[in-house]
Structure 1
Amino acid sequence: MNKAVVLLSGGLDSAVTLYLAKSKGYDEVHALSFDYGQRHQTELNHAMAIASRAGVTAHKIATLNLGDFGGSSLTDKNMEVEDGDVNRTDIPLTYVPARNMVFLSVAASYAESIQAQHIYIGVSEVDYSGYVDCRQEFIDAMELAINKGTVMGAEGGMPIKIHAPFANKTKAQEITLGMELGVDFSLTWSCYRGGEKPCGTCDSCLLRAKAFAEAGFEDAGVKI
């Protein structure tokens, strides 16, 4: 069977990525989320709502303990989430060390266990917070490593492909596509701070607002 695994955080990027994968006609689309020790569970709640609305084959939540290491304001509650700056050139404190490397490794394990040859991740190196693990060269390197380190790829003649469909697209372009695909953006959560309502001032909130404005759509806000 033709199967895909989609990394689903509950945010804007991963929601559009999920709907894009669903539109490709795979026999099965599996969503994979992570409880990795992040400072709040809000995004995970939204991931569950998105997966349910999209009608995925299965939604798995893998539990990791990246929070034990600290080093990021998303996992260390002793660190403050800094206010955002859409023009920043430095790596923000919200960068979680090697997060996408860990996530893609787990996704590869899951994909091989169900014989899925496709992994989708909604990263972008055009319109993002400067994270090094959102770059196409990293995605290419991870794909090579995965196919050297799995039986499917190294000996089974079933190479695993990592799809990063928005690597060279802006969030505004993502939103436009998401509207065409029927994504309910009110189910997505972007705020790093995770309060009852989005803070509106962190990097992720600012990038979201900028993207909706550039795409020419009104952000309906968050319903759950």
Structure 2
Amino acid sequence: MTAADDKALVLFSGGQDSATCLAWALDRFGSVETIGFDYGQRHRVELDVRPAFLDALRADFPAWAGKLGADHLIDAGIVGKLSETALTQETEIAMQADGLPNTFVPGRNLLFLTMAAVTAYRRGIKHIVTGVCETDFSGYPDCRDDTVKALQLALNLGMDRRFVLHTPLMWIDKAATWALASGLGGDALVRLINQDTHTCYLGDRSTRHPWGYGCGHCPACNLRAEGWARFVADAPQPV
């Protein structure tokens, strides 16, 4: 095994899914770095919670603390400037004529994974982890398994590397995502993700719900709330 084989770079937005993926990577690799993107998102508060979550992860999980390395925050403002979506403008969330929600930011995940691969190339990292998912998602085409597999091939051809793109959440729903976090870090990790991550599309951290902070009515909040309810109902003990 080469040094690169035991290193991972996790796309960590500050939300539930990417936080769970970060724990997944820390459980599997000897060295883990994180990368986030500022693309002019209206829920920019997700970037504000990232440092606190990383600090808490180091403090509360000493077995992982020594594995957690550098965090990279990338200016991807061009994404917000090129797109006209409900995630980058003060626009009401709605479905579009093409059947996609207007929260879809064209090319976002393609660009993010490409930037992550460039960073991984420079840092000598082989494994790239992202929280995209086909099960509980809004129909975004850049979250599909076929898209990720095609991009992995393109990145490896274009950079002459053998990156591996990992998608731990691809085939599970939000309830199973909570359960995955519980299996990785117990109630302590579930509480940390519940309290210190941010997933609400509107960036609302003024209201605390049983499942975490959010407006309580956007698509992201609805998915998180429904998944939490199923997770709690199936949990052997209260969390």
**1:3-28 residue CA offsets vs partner (Å, 9 max, x unmatched):** 1000001111000000000000x231
CA distance in 2 between counterparts of 1:38 and 1:98 reads: 14
Give the counterpart of 1:121 among 130, 145, 159.
130
The answer on whether the counterparts of 1:8 and 1:31 sit within 8 Å (CA) in structure 2 is yes
Change in 2 beyond 3 A, CA 1:42/1:181 = same
Q: Is the 8 A contact 1:36 1:64 kept in 2?
A: yes
Q: In the alignment, is the contact (CA less than 8 A) between 1:71 and 1:97 conserved in 2?
A: no
* Match in the other structure for 1:156: none
The residue that corresponds to 2:237 in the other structure is: none
* Inter-partner Cα distance in structure 2 for 1:95 and 1:169: 20
- Report which of the two has the higher share of helix: 2
Q: List gaps (5 residues or longer) in structure 1.
A: 154-158, 219-224
Cα deviations across residues 94-115 of structure 1 (Å, max 9, x unaligned)?
A: 1111110000000000000011
Once the two structures are TM-superposed, the CA of residue 214 in structure 1 deviates from its matched residue by 1.2
Given that 1:175 and 1:215 are in contact with CA atoms closer than 8 Å, whether structure 2 keeps it comes out as: yes
Letter aligned with residue 94 of structure 1: T
Q: Which runs of 5+ in 2 are unaligned?
A: 59-67, 207-213, 235-239
Pair 217,3 (structure 1): closer, same or farther in 2 beyond 3 Å: farther
Matched residue, 1:14: 18
Could you tell me which of 93, 105, 109 is aligned with 2:102? Answer: 93
Partner of 2:229: 213
1:179 to 176, 182, 202: 182
1:217 offset after TM fit, Å?
6.2
Does residue 58 (structure 1) correspond to residue 70 (structure 2)? The answer is yes
Which residue in the other structure is 1:28 paired with? 31
Misfit runs of 4+, over 3 Å: none
Paired with 1:18 and 1:34, the residues of 2 have a C-alpha distance of: 15
**1:73 aligned partner:** 86
Distance in 2 between the 1:124 and 1:135 partners? 7
How far apart are the structure 2 equivalents of 1:105 and 1:54? Answer: 27
Note closer, same or farther for the CA distance 1:217–1:188 as it changes in structure 2 (3 Å cut): farther
Residue 194 of structure 2 is aligned to residue 188 of structure 1: no
User: Is the contact made by 2:134 and 2:144 (CA closer than 8 Å) also made in structure 1?
Assistant: yes
Residue 49 of structure 1 aligns with which residue? 52
Deviation by residue 1:179-201 (Cα, 9 ceiling, x = unmatched)? 22222121111110012331100
1:161 aligns with 2:134: no
Q: 1:139 to 1:98 in 2, by over 3 A?
A: same
> Matches of 1:105 and 1:217 in 2, distance apart?
39
Match of 2:150 in 1: 141
1:8-64 per-position Cα deviation (integer Å, ceiling 9, x unaligned): 01111000000000000x231000000111113210112222222233201110001
Q: What amino acid is the match of 2:219?
A: D
TM-score by length of 1: 0.86
TM-score, structure 2 normalization: 0.81
* Cα RMSD after superposing both structures: 1.8
How far apart, in 1, do the equivalents of 2:116 and 2:55 lie?
A: 20
Tell me the equivalent position of 1:221. none
